[in-house]
Amino acid sequence: MFFVLLIPALLLIVYCGIIVLYTKWFRRLKLFTGIASEDSCFFSVIIPARDEEANIANCLLSILNNHYDKNLLEIIVIDDHSTDNTAKIITGLQQQHDCIRLIAMKDLVSPEEKINSYKKLAIQKAIALSKGDWIITTDADCMVPGNWLKNFNAFIRETNAVFVAAPVRFINSGSFLSIFQCLDFLSLQGITAASVSAGFHSMCNGANLCYKKSVFLEVDGFKGFEHLASGDDMFLMRKIQKQYPDRTRYIFSQDSIVSTLPMPTVKTFINQRIRWASKADSYDDKKVIAVLFVVYFFNLGFLFLLIAGCFNPLYFVWLLVFMAVKIAFEMNFMRYVCRFFGQEAILKYFPLMQPFHIAYTLISGWLGKFGTYQWKGRQVN
């Protein structure tokens, strides 16, 4: 039995050590509260949108309601072949707000052109047509806070950053699936805040990113990974981090948190996570790959113990012991993360979600490597 438990036990020790590091880094983060005396950065906010008639108006209005000089703002929405009223809604808002621009992908892309990542292409086309010195990306189903732009402006001026990763949270609707996604996403966001601020990982989320346009052009944008369906955020961050290691930062501010909707169904949730996992073996950040390796095989260890328990019930006991240790270390980390993101109320569900989280980690990780998935009505390789 000792040798059967040896590898899972070693993985448990390494995994818990990683969580302790993330907790330490997260706890030492200091809230950014600086507000620049004047608006000075010209921001081009870029929003790719495909069939987002239910969300795009709220997204645009939340940006327009920011306390920022509208002469230093343009909002570029790239309509990615929508089949609903997305373009019509944007056009209606354009008539009231001069800073909104609508670009149709169908006018920029040949029907014969083979594309695996429409989102990266949409962002790149929009950047080429943008007027701002700074690019901000978000998603069409996001809502931004009132000081979102002011915070980016102040942070850039104070830190001299050229790339700024920023926090994102899911909106909890109260359903099991919603709570599960909120907790899962909070853990990813907590790791992002901790590891980026510590200079350990290059992690971010394209729903809330800001970078200097000239730097994007300097590193040749998405060149080198434009064929990958995902990665408009982390791969770009990695390229810029190599050029500017001390100017790639994370803004730790509750006034900078962008809120977005979780996936409405299990199918769309799994497809989203497979899309995220599909880029894992393309990272050149060895520390990210090492952590992903530990996490995947640590979770695989639970499946191994479950199978072993069918032959010897004592393995079920060890499975529960390992699970309890895992939960204890993660809960300690998550309570700080949930507090920052204002979602402490759902932390009580965290232990109950563990079996589902392990199963989904194994499934999405496997399919991300060997499977295909659908995203926005398209089959992706």
pLDDT tens digits, residue range 67-106? Answer: 999 999 999 999 998 999 999 999 999 999 999 999 999 8
Domain assignment of residue 353, yes or no? no
Dihedrals phi, psi of 179, to nearest 5 degrees: -65, -40
Domain assignment of residue 49, yes or no? yes
Give pLDDT tens digits for 235-260.
999 999 999 999 999 999 999 999 99
pLDDT of residue 201: 83
Could you tell me the pLDDT band of residue 35, with boundaries at 50, 70 and 90? confident
Domain assignment of residue 314, yes or no? no
Domain assignment of residue 341, yes or no? no
Partners of 211 in beta bridges: 135, 163
Domain assignment of residue 229, yes or no? yes
**Structural domain for 141, as ranges:** 36-174+201-264
Domain assignment of residue 243, yes or no? yes
CATH of the domain at 155: 3.90.550.10
pTM (2 decimals)?
0.90
Domain assignment of residue 315, yes or no? no
Contact 37/347 with Cβ under 8 angstroms? Answer: no
Domain assignment of residue 320, yes or no? no
What is the distance between the alpha carbons of residues 192 and 202, in angstroms, rounded to a whole number? Answer: 8
Q: Using H for helix, E for strand and C for coil, what is the string for 230-272?
A: CCCCHHHHHHHHHHCCCCEEECCCHHHCEEECCCCCHHHHHHH
Q: Count structural domains, the chain.
A: 1
